[in-house]
Amino acid sequence: MKDAETNDWARSHLDHLWSRGKAFLGVDMAILGGAMSWVSERNLVAAISSAGGFGVLACGSMTPELLSEEIAGTKALLERGDGSKPYGVNLITMHPDLDRLIDVCGEHKVGHVVLAGGLPSAASIKRAKDLGAKVICFAPALALAKKLVRSGTDALVIEGAEAGGHIGPVATSVLAQEILPEITDVPVFVAGGIGRGEAIVSYLEMGASGVQLGTRFVCATECIAHPNFKKAFLRANARDAVPTVQIDPQFPVIPVRALINKGTEAFMATQRAVIEKFRAGEMDQKSAQLEIEHFWAGALRRAVIDGDVENGSLMAGQSVGLVKSEQPTAEILADLRNQAVESLAKRATAGAPGAR
């Protein structure tokens, strides 16, 4: 094929590969922005959606009132464009006001609700769907993926241990091999360690409907993260993003991947203190888990908003080593798509199996 024909074929083939994800999300590129507390707020979410991706607002530990304000702010930013760009809202399943948060999403007619941070109940999934939203859930294993599909989820995200923030124990590449061939009833989006278009193509060809990226968007121009926070990402290598250690296997704490600093040490101390309170009968397990979550929310705010990169939490995925500069969100998404197209075009030129 001639170069122009090859590129046209590659663009068309990419559109075919992620057509299911594009249709489900209602976007030009089946790329979700990972929901990162304090980072994935109205400005970044609107920028991702406006540029053709799918922005996801991170509720985190917000109250229903704060979430309502943030959704309204996101809608206002999107209305400066054509007003029709879709976005989603990520809710933490262990939030004590989860039902009310779901209701807030319904009041604002949010099109997609992402339930994360634990296995959501069938009742929560139904509540969101009854209010008009499509529901996306996280599946860390095939058995749980099947259970969530039976519970009514409309799509899944499978996120590997390479991701930033709260992580599971299994690598993205293994999860993809385990789940993508088996789950075909709903769209499946792959997340964790993805920073370039070539990786996107590989997962699409394995059967994914799209991907989710978080770390790649932290250094977006529109991201409100403190310059110190962004500099830490630009300086970091993949090996600098490490998971926290679980102190007591009888007290399961979801590991968190972050750039190591004094904040990591503070988390270990907090974890020990909470476990002691739990063992002394001063709090139940759910309350203890929430206290640890509140620690992370505060530590993350110190880093993202205040710029305290020594004592705050620097949650980052291993793809942080691929973040080389601060760029506009639209440029980041364009780079990812161009890399994907170039990857397909090179294979077509080389006569790779499956290419035109």
Q: Give domain status of residue 355, yes or no.
A: no
What range defines the domain where residue 299 resides? 227-318
Contact (Cβ atoms closer than 8 angstroms) between residue 300 and residue 38 = yes
pLDDT score of 250: 67
Q: What is the pLDDT of residue 112?
A: 98
The percentage of residues in the chain with a pLDDT greater than 70, rounded to a whole number, is 96
The answer to whether residues 82 and 98 belong to one domain is yes
**Longest distance between any two alpha carbons in the chain, whole Å:** 72
For residue 115, give the CATH number of its domain: 3.20.20.70
287-313 pLDDT tens trace: 887 787 778 778 899 999 999 999 999
Band of the pLDDT at 92, cuts 50, 70, 90?
very high
Residue-wise burial string across 101-124, b where 16 or more C-beta atoms lie within 10 A, e elsewhere: bbbbbbebebbbbbbbbeebeeeb
* Span of 26-30, 68-72, 289-293, 321-325 with lowest mean pLDDT: 289-293
Q: What is the pLDDT of residue 219?
A: 98
- Based on the fold, state whether residues 11 and 140 are members of the same structural domain: yes
- The H or E element that residue 251 is part of is none
Asked if residues 103 and 90 have their Cβ atoms less than 8 Å apart, the reply is no
Shared-domain flag, residues 173 and 254: no
pLDDT confidence tier of residue 142, bands split at 50, 70 and 90? very high
As given in the structure block, the two tokens for residue 234 are 């630009």
329 within a domain of the structure (yes/no):
yes
Q: How far is CA 335 from CA 50, 88, 197, 232, in A?
A: 16, 23, 8, 22
Local structure of residue 93 (DSSP, 8 states)? T
Instruction: Give yes or no: residues 231 and 219 share one domain.
Output: no
In the three-class reduction of DSSP (H, G, I as helix; E, B as strand; rest coil), residue 291 is classed as helix
246: pLDDT strictly greater than 60: yes
Question: Do 47 and 164 have their domain in common?
Answer: yes
Residue that wins the pLDDT comparison between 267 and 106:
106
**What is the pLDDT averaged over residues 167-176?**
94
Provide the pLDDT for residue 355.
55
Question: What value does the mean pLDDT take over residues 179-191?
Answer: 98
In this structure, the answer to whether residues 152 and 272 fall within a common structural domain is no
Pick from 154, 161, 196, 195: which is nearest to 175 by CA? 161
**Is pLDDT of 50 > 90?**
yes
Q: How confident is residue 350, by pLDDT bands cut at 50, 70 and 90? A: confident
Q: What is the pLDDT of residue 275?
A: 86
Residues 201 and 283 in one domain: no
Q: What is the mean pLDDT of the chain?
A: 93
Structural domains counted in the chain = 2
CA angle 34, 190, 78 (to 5 degrees): 35
Secondary structure percentages of the chain, helix, strand, coil, to 5:
50, 15, 40
Q: CA torsion, points 222, 38, 112, 329, in degrees to nearest 10?
A: 20
* The pLDDT of residue 252 is above 70: no
Neighbours of 288 (CB within 10 A): 19
Pairing of strands 256-259, 165-166: antiparallel
Q: What is the pLDDT of residue 81?
A: 72
Distance CA 17, CA 204 (A): 6
d(CA 193, CA 185): 25
Contact 295, 282 (CB under 8 A): no
Residue 354 has pLDDT above 70, yes or no: no
**What's the confidence (pLDDT) of residue 151?**
97
**Average pLDDT of the segment spanning 71-98:** 92
**Residue whose structure tokens are 């060809």:** 205
Rounded to whole angstroms, how far apart are CA atoms 49 and 41?
12
Q: Are residues 53 and 127 in the same domain?
A: yes
* CA dist., res. 230 & res. 235, Å (int): 9
Q: Using one digit for the tens of pLDDT, what is the confidence trace for 6-22?
A: 999 999 999 999 999 99
Residue 309 located in a structural domain: yes
Q: Which long-range contacts (CB under 8 A, 24 or more apart) does 139-145 make?
A: 139/179, 139/183, 140/168, 140/169, 140/170, 140/175, 141/168, 141/170, 141/175, 141/178, 141/179, 142/178, 142/179, 142/182, 142/183, 144/119, 145/179, 145/182, 145/183, 145/188
DSSP 214-240: SGGGTTBTT----HHHHHHHHH--GGG
Quick check: is 64 in a domain? yes
Do 311 and 327 sit in the same domain of this protein? no
Q: Is residue 356 included in any domain, yes or no?
A: no
Q: How far apart are CA 94 and CA 71, in angstroms?
A: 20
Q: Burial code of 204-216, b = ≥16 C-beta within 10 A, e = fewer? A: beebbbbbbbbbb
Q: From CA 127, how far away is CA 40, in angstroms rounded?
A: 24
Same domain assignment for residues 62 and 149: yes
Per-residue pLDDT for 353 more than 70?
Answer: no
Predicted TM-score (pTM) of this structure: 0.93
Residues 154, 66 within the same domain: yes
What pLDDT does 228 receive? 98
- Tell me, yes or no, whether 296 and 329 share the same domain: no
255 falls within a domain: yes
Residue 314 lies in a domain: yes
